[in-house]
Chain A
């Protein structure tokens, strides 16, 4: 049984113009001990999916339908109090911007021990001892003294380490990392990713890593979920996805990565995907990628929405013309 099984999750945001379908029928599952990478461009619903699982979607947003079964428990129907016990204790989350994710008016120690005392009923001394251990675990030097420091005395990378320590403090089964490295320097990014992997193995944790950086998922994820306009468009094991991408969107995403080893690459232009994602107030009837897709218009995919189907074992795709089913004529026509 998978540790987390999300099915047909829909989260809408009420606005003056109507309901924005931010997450529209997302289904996936994560096996225990695995890492799932969720990729997609800004606004495709990655973060909202994570927040929906945690029950942290704020008004005017709400989870309209769908289920999220975690460790045999249905999360979407839990009360606020029950959710509070799950958050931080069983599912932890780290956020994109470590510079703003710590309260500037409380010391690191206070913020770390609060979680411990809340979930594990530790005494002040026990919590303090554990907090020192945690800071050491995330490789912060002189941990005992650093507990008394305020967040502004930590650099971005250090703060993200503190956030990771906080997230891991109660040994959660699942860690959701929402763009954990986006706000960091490239060199620091590598360090933080290494640390996450090290701790994941140590604590035998399951992880969902949300990012728009293909490099990050390539390095960390076992399975990859590609999202577009609130829907899952492709899901496959990481190696398979990089080797044999099926959905035109995934292909385009991978195609837009510059290959620094190719000759004359400095004189080439960076490749981008033309057009913009559809307005999620009124999602198109057909395939949501149709307007930007090279292969659209050949069939009626821009009128009838394609369903997510398993094209190979473990490889799911939502397209009527995935790479392996395209005829030479189709490819020619697209040119």
Chain B
């Protein structure tokens, strides 16, 4: 390699340049010459460093983190999201109020220092109940999102990876399911179960909303499958399973993370809607949806009872969407060059 004739020719070019300089700048030759050499050595050092890899190492995730941080709306949304989550987790722990204690003398108190969100028809503190309801909403949201990812990714990845006739069959089946309207589908599922509790709610929401994830995953896998590195992996003897896990699924991780934050608000909204129409968690437990439904009957007299849970839902959905937006920009490999 290094005994290549090209190397000598480069040297020749350098020498002749230096010679020309010597002639034309006769008086300051010495100075110029050493400057020139300085520059050469410095450049060489710089290149050596780069080739050696002493620059700060940037991993994919670190890069993504810096890009996410740059997006102010997403950062604000992330803080808002964490704050909301913290509110739901910590308020019931540190509050002295008993969220289930009925005290009719305290019913329908407007917001005050003692009861920041007022009280409901049974005199229960709405502040603590909102936090508790948030716990239920979040829990259902996370569980259902997890289930949706599991089902959607498995279905979509299978379809996209195997392809051919199976892909065709699976996708046509999905098209048929797409035709069914979302909420009636969930209602129907709940009706079949007969009871409403945490798990039936999760199952109903999952069944009603895993389609999009499956479709997107299938598309992703199909695109990734065409990559040269997949072919290269087969060429060094990787098995199909190995290719699927190491080269395809791992590359969809960014999309999956974005999808978690896109599905979460949808699922929580779905839960709220089902609760609102009376298919929610049974009292005295509550979610934001059931709280809003309780408040709905009194909205002209005691508006805070519906306004507060509604605001909570809106807060969650908006922050999740902005996080998803920021994550999509941060994790999209095409943004890397920018």
Residues of A within 8 A of B (CB): 54, 56, 59, 80-81, 84-89, 92-93, 95-97, 100-106, 114-115, 118-119, 139, 141-142, 145-146, 148-150, 152-153, 163, 166-167, 169, 187, 190-191, 194-195, 198
A152-B336, A194-B4, A195-B1 are contacts. A84–B237 as well, Cβ < 8 Å? yes
Contacts of A84 in B (CB 8 A): 237-239
Is the beta-carbon distance between A102 and B163 smaller than 8 angstroms?
A: no
Is the beta-carbon distance between A149 and B60 smaller than 8 angstroms?
A: no
Is the beta-carbon distance between B228 and A88 smaller than 8 angstroms?
A: no
Contacts of A92 in B (CB 8 A): 235-236
**B59 interfacial by beta-carbon distance below 8 Å:** yes
Contacts of B250 in A (CB 8 A): 105-106
A-B contacts, 13 of them at CB < 8 A, read: A59-B164, A84-B237, A84-B238, A87-B235, A93-B232, A102-B232, A103-B247, A105-B60, A114-B246, A149-B57, A150-B59, A152-B336, A153-B53
CB distance from A189 to the nearest CB of B (A): 12
Contacts of A115 in B (CB 8 A): 236-237
Residue of A whose beta carbon sits closest to that of B51: A141
A142-B51, A150-B59, A153-B53 are contacts. A114–B238 as well, Cβ < 8 Å? yes
Is the beta-carbon distance between A56 and B237 smaller than 8 angstroms?
A: no
Q: CA of A54 to CA of B242 in the docked complex: distance in angstroms?
A: 18
B4, B53, B238: residue with the most chain A Cβ atoms closer than 10 Å: B53
Contacts of A88 in B (CB 8 A): 235-238
Is the beta-carbon distance between A86 and B164 smaller than 8 angstroms?
A: no
Contacts of A104 in B (CB 8 A): 60, 229, 251, 333
| 10 nearest CB pairs, A to B | A88-B236, A88-B237, A100-B228, A87-B237, A93-B235, A142-B52, A101-B232, A101-B228, A103-B229, A115-B236
Q: Which of B150-173 contact A (CB under 8 A)?
A: 163-164
Identify which of A87, A149, A150, A169 contacts B234 (C-beta below 8 A).
A87
Is the beta-carbon distance between B53 and A145 smaller than 8 angstroms?
A: yes
CB distance from B150 to the nearest CB of A (A): 21
Contacts of B336 in A (CB 8 A): 152
Contacts of A142 in B (CB 8 A): 51-53
A105-B251, A195-B1 are contacts. A167–B236 as well, Cβ < 8 Å? yes
**B233 interfacial by beta-carbon distance below 8 Å:** yes
**B227 interfacial by beta-carbon distance below 8 Å:** yes
